[in-house]
Amino acid sequence: MASNAELIKVTGLCKHFYNGELKALDGVDYSINKGDVVVVIGPSGSGKSTFLRCLNLLEVPTSGEVVFKGVDITKKYYTDKNGNKVRLNIDEHRRKMGMVFQHFNLFPHMTVLENMTLAPIKVKKMAKDEAEKKAKKLLKRVGLGDRADAYPIQLSGGQKQRVAIVRALMMEPEVMLFDEPTSALDPEMVGEVLEVIRELATTGMTMVIVTHEMGFAKEVGKKIVFMADGKIVETGSPEEIFDNPQSPRLQDFLKKVL
Amino acid sequence: MFTSAGFAKTWQYIQLFKEGLICTLSLSALTVLFGFIFALILALMRMSKIKPLSWFATCYVELFRATPMLVQLFIVYYVVFAKASLPNFKLFGFIRFERFFPGVVALSMNSGAYLSEIIRAGIQSIDHGQTEASRSLGLSSRQTLFDIVLPQAIKNILPAIANEFVTIIKESSICYTIGVQEIMYAVASIKGATYRIAEPLLIATAVYFCLTFPTSKIIAYFERRMSRGFKR
């Protein structure tokens, strides 16, 4: 399932705010391979979300490289296979990366179905009925087959987040980025969303998940990344990170959250 | 002050009020249309990352909000269109285009400045997460603006736009000073013909009131309805 092809390679990634007064990311290096399920944990303000948002350039890094499928997407131009200099169109790369947000960010003026079919129709030029068929199939898969014509306001938080996930899946992304997908949910709704992500993990989807759910991180994560103060402090398998933490920073963090 | 003889005399010229009403309505409708398009462009310019564009739009808005409408109207009519020979046909068989058109231009330029601030506030009121979600799906900034941000922004500012429409109906009366045959022009004509002023003014008041009062009531109704269900 997991081939070792490198999908995203991040080098020397820095993101500074307020003219460098706040270093949200302070030199991060990491590679994500196809089929990886990477879970990023760490205390608030450690730069987890900023790291994730830099991967699809929602946050423009101050310095460093984000190489996605061999193209450095932080630069304005790149060289293609034939050696030609090409102007980078960030939208083309973003559509291969699905993103799920803490606050769902569904479009409130559109139905669930419209939310899901907008990008495939507009961006991929998919036929409308084809897109709708696909959307309904995905909705059924996450147990929302009967809510296609509902507006986001009529859904519960857990339902909204499930819609947000399948909306991203509609574009058939090569990697899914989850930015604290359960942090804004009522406790009883966390399970249904994690269940969808868990199922997605079994399909071999490459995923990067920022989360505070340690149990879930341990269960679903194939690789755990622990961040603090804008740096990656420790990486490893769930067993290594949770059962045998090396750095005092991680030991301290786990003591507080577990 | 008001005499029945005065009303009788005024009534002979009621046709002028009918024409005035048509003129005021077309003046206002065109102003809202052009003013809105212009305002949208101004708002986008003002929020643009290209400095000269946002600088120009800011100056324009500040200038037009800080000077009297009458001055703007006179500059447009007597200066800008002084040398331009506009076609002198008549709309609906009576509205003199060469006066009507500068009136529309001046009113649109003025309301464009006010409306652009309303639109800008509307766009900025939309949660940034909407833009992020749209961009993360691969939609361009242009598609994001027209498919995601503007539909929500305009729904939010619809009451403010409608209020601007009411304001324009009232402000359009100023165009009588350049000879546009709207309602106040009818008053002036009847005064010239009959030496009566109170009765025509009373009728003009009634006509304006009948135009604006129901409009603002309808707006209030929709405002209440919209804030009920759709808002997040």
pLDDT in tens, A85-137: 888 999 999 999 999 999 999 999 999 999 999 999 999 999 999 999 999 99
Q: Average the pLDDT over B164-174 and give the result.
A: 93
The answer, yes or no, to whether residue A242 has pLDDT greater than 70, is yes
Residue of B nearest to A93 (CA): B138
- Does the CB of A81 have a partner CB in chain B at under 8 Å? no
CB of B176 closer than 8 Å to CB of B184: yes
DSSP A1: -
CB of B199 closer than 8 Å to CB of B6: yes
- For B143, the token pair is 């598609």
Q: Do B136 and A94 touch (CB under 8 A)?
A: yes
Count Cβ–Cβ pairs < 8 Å, chain A vs chain B. Answer: 67
| Locus of tokens 């507009």 | A122
Residues of A in contact with B142 (CB under 8 A): none
**Comparing C-alpha atoms, which of B58, B56, B47, B49 is closest to residue B126?**
B47
b (16+ CB within 10 A) / e for A52-66: bbbbbbbbebbebeb
B135 Cα to chain A: minimum distance (Å): 7
CB of B76 closer than 8 Å to CB of B64: no
pLDDT, residue A100, reads: 97
Q: Do A119 and B139 touch (CB under 8 A)?
A: yes
CB of B113 closer than 8 Å to CB of B65: yes
Tally of residues, chain B: 232
Of A103, A106, A109, the CB nearest to B155: A109
pLDDT, residue B158, reads: 84
The per-residue pLDDT for range A9-67, each reduced to its tens digit, is: 999 999 999 988 899 999 999 999 999 999 999 999 899 999 999 999 999 999 999 99
pLDDT, residue B228, reads: 54
The answer, yes or no, to whether residue B232 has pLDDT greater than 60, is no
- Does the CB of A109 have a partner CB in chain B at under 8 Å? yes
Rounded to 5°, angle at Cα B229 from A136 and B130: 60
Q: Do A153 and B230 touch (CB under 8 A)?
A: yes
Q: Do B152 and A94 touch (CB under 8 A)?
A: no
In a mutational test of the A interface, the residue from B137, B148, B152 whose CB has the highest number of chain A CBs within 10 Å is: B137
A116 Cα to chain B: minimum distance (Å): 10
Does the model's ipTM exceed the 0.95 cut? no
Mean pLDDT for chain A overall: 93
Q: Do B138 and A101 touch (CB under 8 A)?
A: no
What residues 24-63 of chain A have any CB closer than 8 A to a CB of chain B? 56, 58
Of B132, B139, B152, the CB nearest to A105: B132
Residues of B in contact with A108 (CB under 8 A): 152, 230, 232
Q: Average the pLDDT over B27-34 and give the result.
A: 93
pLDDT, residue B114, reads: 94
List the beta bridge partners of residue A137: none
Q: Judging by DSSP bridges, how do beta strands A231-236 and A223-228 pair with one another?
A: antiparallel
- Report field, pTM of the whole predicted structure over 0.80: yes
Residue of A nearest to B156 (CA): A109
Q: Do A101 and B152 touch (CB under 8 A)?
A: no
pLDDT, residue B227, reads: 61
Q: Judging by DSSP bridges, how do beta strands A63-68 and A175-179 pair with one another?
A: unpaired
Residues of A in contact with B230 (CB under 8 A): 108-109, 153
Residues of B in contact with A167 (CB under 8 A): 137
pLDDT, residue A80, reads: 81
Residue of B nearest to A155 (CA): B232
DSSP per-residue letters across A153-206: GGS-HHHHHHHHHHHHHTT--SEEEEESTTTTS-HHHHHHHHHHHHHHHHTT-E
Of A56, A105, A167, the CB nearest to B129: A105
Residues of B in contact with A58 (CB under 8 A): 132, 135-136
Mean pLDDT for chain B overall: 90
Q: What SS3 state is found at B190?
A: helix
